[in-house]
Amino acid sequence: MTDNEEFKEIDDAEEQGKKNILKYFDRLHDKLFTFNNIMIVGFFAISKIDTNISIKNILIPLFNLVFLIFIEYRMMELSRAESNIKKMPISDLPKKLYKKYNSVTLYSLGSIITTGIVTIIFLFYLLF
């Protein structure tokens, strides 16, 4: 195997890795969206079952839903930046793309945490 073939395989592996990252982000966010929708229904049901719990508590998972939609928007912006990568000056590439990747990753971590908090609040209302 020549050096060029090895570099091509490395480049192909890198490209496949980038595609897999976005694929797994999409799968994770789809599951978070679905679970958050279940939480919306759960908060609504708890507020109807227990009269001491306000219907306004449904705002908790709704705010989380807005946050999840915001993350999807940021992921779309990242993909848009990647699609115009050849138009960016070479000096801006590492700074701009790294910043976008980093922010999307942090927002995704935040969405996992906020969905966990919504779940804990739901379980608190359910159990107490």
pLDDT in tens, 20-44: 777 888 899 999 999 999 999 999 9
User: Which residue did the predictor score with more confidence, 73 or 92?
Assistant: 73
CA separation, residue 1 to residues 9, 12, 13, 15, 34 (Å): 11, 15, 16, 20, 47
CA dihedral 96, 102, 107, 112 (to 10 degrees): 160
Highest mean pLDDT among 9-13, 71-75, 79-83, 93-97: 71-75
Digit-coded pLDDT (tens) for 78-119: 888 878 878 878 777 777 777 888 888 899 999 999 999 999
**Where exactly are the structural domains of the chain?**
3-127
Instruction: Please name the amino acid found at residue 4.
Output: N
Q: Provide the whole-model pTM.
A: 0.83
Which residues are CB-neighbours of 46 under 8 A, at least 6 positions away?
53, 57, 122, 125, 126
